[in-house]
Amino acid sequence: MRTYIFKSFLFAALAGLYTSCSSDDDTSALAGEGQVSVEFDNGVAGDDLILHTSAYTNGNDETLTIDRLNYIVSNFTLTDDRGNTYVYPKDDSYFVISEESEKTQITLTGIPAGNYVKLQFGIGVDQEKYLQGAEGQGDFLEEAEQEEMMWSWQAGYKFLNFEGTFTSATVTEPTEFKIHMGSHGSSLDNYREVSLDLSTRAMVSEEMSPLIHLSVDADKILNGSDKMLLSEEPVIMISEEKSPKIAGNATEMFSVDHVHNGSGNHH
């Protein structure tokens, strides 16, 4: 009889423990709002990006010293594991990522609780926002000017500002290169969007604030689906032929490295 009572007690205790663990792991109970941070870890073909000093040989056998890598990211949306998509407020959804200013992490606040499995964002500033005029840009216009991400208000934003020097088999002396990509009126709209599946769910709640860590490969700018030689054209700014190709290549720069789920943001 004592053995039976002991076994019954043990079974009840184990069942209680299992229930407790299950409730701790039950992410369907996420509630409230939280924040999501996104880290843009800039590199070149698997190497860390170090401005001004390191030399990188790209897939076109050109050796680059990079002095600037700035780009605009915008219009963030998050999709959860139930297919619900949260669109971040448009007026707050424009950011400059700048390696030289060490602006490589953004934080999206007020995100509804959920398990998010997809991140989408734009590269550049969409026509809808630009056509709101200078008054409609808010504080972002001043930030873009400070970070060398404007030609002029009339000419528009630079979506990508990639600069440095290079040498190649045919260009033996260090030569300046400048790759600026943006939209120039409705006839040349180079705004593009990126969609990334998250390798691990980003769990958001009042207690959970995940960090999505993205790897960014600057080599793709010239060595993506479209190959471009600096030795043929070291300055590309407003090109009906090459600017759209650079815009397409830029979407290939981004991949998900990992997701940190926790009460604080980690690197």
Instruction: Convert the pLDDT of each residue in 230-239 to its tens digit.
Output: 999 999 998 8
Residue 3 shares a structural domain with residue 103? no
162 within a domain of the structure (yes/no)? yes
Tens digits of residue pLDDT in 215-251: 999 999 999 999 999 999 999 998 889 999 999 999 9
Task: Tell me whether residue 153 is in a domain.
Answer: yes
H or E, element range at 75: strand 63-80
Mean pLDDT confidence for 12-35 = 52
Q: What average pLDDT does the structure give for the chain?
A: 87
Contact 148, 68 (CB under 8 A): yes
pLDDT of res. 251: 97
- Read off φ and ψ for residue 242, nearest 5 degrees: -90, -30
Count of structural domains within the chain: 2
Residue 97: which of 163, 38, 137 has the closest Cα? 38
pLDDT on residue 9 = 42
In a domain, 104, yes or no: yes
Strand partners, 255: 215
CB 27 within 8 A of CB 203: yes
Identify whether residues 135 and 6 lie together within a single domain: no
pLDDT of res. 10 = 42
Q: Is 261 exposed, middle or buried (0-12, 13-18, 19+ CB in 10 A)?
A: middle
Q: What pLDDT is stored for residue 112 in this prediction?
A: 96
Q: Are residues 120 and 15 in the same domain?
A: no
Pairing state between β 33-44 and 211-217:
parallel
Query: pLDDT tens across 106-162, in order?
Result: 999 999 999 999 999 999 999 999 989 888 998 999 999 999 999 887 788 999 999
Residue located via tokens 């039950």: 26
Are 154 and 169 within one domain? Answer: yes
Same domain, 13 and 100: no
Residue 265 covered by a domain: no
Q: Containing domain of residue 20, as a range?
A: 1-29
- Calculate the CA dihedral of residues 236, 240, 246, 250 and round it to 10 degrees: 120
Structure-token match 């680059």, residue found: 64
Half-sphere exposure of 94 (CA within 13 A, CB side): 22
Structure pTM?
Answer: 0.86
195, 28 Cβ separation under 8 angstroms = no
Share of the chain above pLDDT 90, in %: 73
> What pLDDT score was predicted for residue 187?
66
pLDDT tops 70 at residue 28: no
In a domain, 266, yes or no: no
Same domain, 11 and 84: no
Task: Report which residue type is found at 258.
Answer: H
Q: Are both 17 and 149 inside the same structural domain?
A: no
Pair 10, 107 in one domain: no
